[in-house]
Amino acid sequence: MESPWGDLPVADAHVHFFSHHFFETLAGQVAAQLESLGPALGWQLPAEDPNELAEFWVRELDRHGVSRAALIASMPGDHQSVAAAVSRFPRRFYGYVMVNPLAPDASAVVQEALSTGHVHGLCFFPAMHCYSIQDERVSALLDSAAQSGAVVFVHCGILSVGVRRKLNLPSLFDMRFSNPIELHAVAMRYPQLRFVIPHFGAGYFREALMLCDLCPNVWLDTSSSNSWMRYESTQVDLREVFRRALNVVGPGRLLFGTDSSFFPRGWNAQVYEAQSKALYEAGLKADAAQLIFHDNLVKLFAPA
Rounded (10°) angle between helices 20-29 and 50-64: 120
Task: Report the alpha-carbon distance of residue 59 to residue 72 in Å, rounded.
Answer: 18
What distance lies between CA 212 and its chain's CA centroid? 17
Check whether 31 has a pLDDT greater than 90: no
pLDDT at 197 over 80: yes
pLDDT tens digit string along 47-98? 999 999 999 999 999 999 999 999 999 999 999 999 999 999 999 999 999 9
Alpha carbon 14 to chain centroid, angstroms: 4
* Domains of the chain: residue spans and CATH: 2-300 (3.20.20.140)
pLDDT exceeds 90 at position 304 = no
Q: What is the pTM of this model?
A: 0.97
What's the mean pLDDT when you consider all of the chain?
97
User: 199 burial class (0-12, 13-18, 19+ CB within 10 angstroms)?
Assistant: buried
Interval 108-153: pLDDT, tens: 999 999 999 999 999 999 999 999 999 999 999 999 999 999 999 9
| Mean pLDDT confidence for 243-255 | 98
Instruction: Quote the CA–CA distance of 300 and 256 in Å, as a whole number.
Output: 12
Residues in the chain: 304
Instruction: Report the share of the chain in percent with pLDDT over 90.
Output: 95
CB crowding 39-77: b at 16 or more within 10 Å, else e:
eebebebbeeebeebbebbbebbeebebbbbbbbbbbbb
Q: Please give the pLDDT value at position 303.
A: 82
Q: Confidence band (pLDDT; 50, 70, 90) for 2? A: very high
Report yes or no: 248 and 3 within 8 Å, Cβ to Cβ.
no
Classify strands 10-16 and 66-73 as parallel, antiparallel or unpaired: parallel
